[in-house]
Amino acid sequence: MLSLCQKSTAATRATVSGCSAVVRAHRSKPLASHGVTPSTRYLAVARRPCSTSRPLFAATITVTRDSSPVPKIPPAEPWKRHISPDAVTPTVFTFFEKATSTWQYIVVDPHTSEAVVVDPVLDYDASTGAISTSTADGLLAFIEVEGLKVRRILETHAHADHLTAAQYIKQQLGGNIPVCIGRRISLVQKTFASIYGLDDPAAFEQTFDCYFDDDQEFQLGQLSCRVMHLPGHTPDHVGYMIGKAVFTGDSIFNPDVGSARADFPGGNAEDLYASMQRLLSLPSDYRLFVGHDYPQNRDQTCWSTVEDQRTANKHLKLGADKSAFIEWRKQRDAVLGAPRLLHPSLQVNIRAGKLPPVDDKGRVFFKVPITSSVDL
């Protein structure tokens, strides 16, 4: 778990506005295949509801030591192992994070055991303000057990519904693995720097390590990968095509879920329509691995074929009327509430998984802009 205050080798107890919550420290076992040195880290971000118009909320954290042992995190169990069907397509291990309905992927070249991690999740409890790393630690343990060599951590966009574990995974794997995203993340950073009052010109320095151009290619072992710009949900959104597998993020959902919202700053329903049509134009047997799933009366699933989407996507079958989709998407988005983890997610994710700066008292705060109809 990431360090906020002093280091501790055991659990810590955080007292937040008179209420106590245990925040467990985790001593990381070195990953032998990556030469990682041991570290002891924890993080608790405390918060107190804001009763004024100022867009800040937080509370002081008081830390005491607890000598209880810390259990070792077992390897995460993949929902499925999608074995490579041919020489150009990866093996895909899929992991569902239930709290945010997020799909995480470990994508592997079976020839070399080189891997990328796509859209990993950092655990966050909004009721206590505590950040933990159980989900990410499960992925790390899986990587170690499988003997995988992680080469990149890939983000599809700046998520608004969960915090990314990209920075934590990078640190635990030695600190040299690049965290990658599409180059247009700078547009999103600029937008939310204004919203959250991030006036420091250096706010986004040393965050992401790799900024992909549209259609840029890179290698995963012996496999060729290509970046697809898929805007609409957000302007920075990209997908990653590796052989016949495409990791679509939130640019399209499973056929019975349809499409993602397009009303975030810089989002655009017309762009979303074009991105979905671009995916539907791929060969019919390509698999589209989605960023989330919200099943109704079925188990969760992470993929469908292009042909499945063409014939069954509830919002946009191939040939669906563009203007009708755009109008429907706008009307639908107008009545949707904000994602539950909107503000914490964005303030971490536009920094590639790093937390906001520590203040002069060693505290970390998330900002929440508020509106009020009265002058209090």
Q: What is the DSSP string of 116-145?
A: EEES-EEEEETTTTEEE-HHHHHHHHHHHH
The pLDDT, as a whole number, for residue 70 is: 54
Question: Nearest 5°: phi and psi at 21?
Answer: -145, 135
Find the helix or strand (DSSP H, E) in which 276 lies: helix 269-280
The pLDDT, as a whole number, for residue 317 is: 73
| CATH number for the domain harbouring residue 97 | 3.60.15.10
pLDDT of 64 > 50? The answer is: no
pLDDT of 179 > 70? The answer is: yes
The pLDDT, as a whole number, for residue 73 is: 87
The pLDDT, as a whole number, for residue 42 is: 37
For residue 204, give the 3-state DSSP assignment.
coil
Which residue type, as a one-letter code, is found at position 31?
Answer: L
Residue 18 lies in a domain: no
pLDDT of 231 > 60? The answer is: yes
Helices (H) and strands (E) in the chain, counts: 7, 23
* C-alpha torsion sign, points 23, 27, 29, 31: positive
Residue 38 lies in a domain: no
Residue 372 lies in a domain: no
Q: Residue 356: which pLDDT band, with cuts at 50, 70 and 90?
A: very high
- Could you count the other beta carbons within 10 Å of the beta carbon of residue 372? 8
Q: Are 250 and 158 in contact (CB under 8 A)?
A: no
The CA distance from 96 to 260, in Å, is: 18
Pick left, alpha or beta for residue 280 (phi over 0 → left; psi -120 to 50 → alpha; otherwise beta). Answer: alpha
Residue with tokens 């994070």: 97
The pLDDT, as a whole number, for residue 199 is: 83
pLDDT of 176 > 80? The answer is: yes
pLDDT of 52 > 50? The answer is: no
**pLDDT digits 0-9 by tens, 109-154:** 999 999 999 999 999 999 999 999 999 999 999 999 999 999 999 9
Q: What average pLDDT does range 281-295 have in this prediction?
A: 98
Q: What average pLDDT does range 277-282 have in this prediction?
A: 97
The pLDDT, as a whole number, for residue 72 is: 78
pLDDT of 59 > 90? The answer is: no
The mean predicted confidence, pLDDT, of the chain is 85
The pLDDT, as a whole number, for residue 318 is: 61
Q: What average pLDDT does range 24-48 have in this prediction?
A: 39
**pLDDT digits 0-9 by tens, 152-169:** 999 999 999 999 999 999
pLDDT of 58 > 50? The answer is: no
The pLDDT, as a whole number, for residue 128 is: 92
Which residue type, as a one-letter code, is found at position 309?
Answer: Q
Which residue type, as a one-letter code, is found at position 294?
Answer: Y
Closest CA to 173 of 205, 148, 192, 196: 148
Tokens describing residue 253: 């959902």
Residue with tokens 């990866």: 90
For residue 333, give the 3-state DSSP assignment.
helix
Residue 95 lies in a domain: yes
Q: Are 288 and 306 in contact (CB under 8 A)?
A: yes
**pLDDT digits 0-9 by tens, 74-93:** 999 999 999 999 999 999 99
The number of distinct structural domains making up the chain is 1
Residue 86 lies in a domain: yes
Q: What average pLDDT does range 57-65 have in this prediction?
A: 35
Q: Which residues contact 71 (CB under 8 A, 6 or more apart)?
A: none
pTM, two decimals, is: 0.82
- Length of the chain measured in residues: 376
Question: Which domain, by its residues, includes 167?
Answer: 74-364
Top pLDDT among 10 and 298 is at 298
Q: Are 182 and 154 in contact (CB under 8 A)?
A: no
pLDDT of 201 > 80? The answer is: no
Q: Which residues contact 165 (CB under 8 A, 6 or more apart)?
A: 120, 121, 122, 133, 135, 136, 139, 353
Residue 58 lies in a domain: no
CA 151 from centre of chain: 18
pLDDT of 22 > 50? The answer is: no
Residue with tokens 């302007």: 235
Residue 68 lies in a domain: no
Residue 285 lies in a domain: yes
The CA distance from 231 to 234, in Å, is: 6
The pLDDT, as a whole number, for residue 175 is: 97
Query: What are the distances in angstroms from CA 231 to CA 135, 239, 272?
Result: 28, 10, 6
With pLDDT > 90 as the criterion, what percentage of the chain qualifies? Answer: 75
The CA distance from 236 to 32, in Å, is: 35
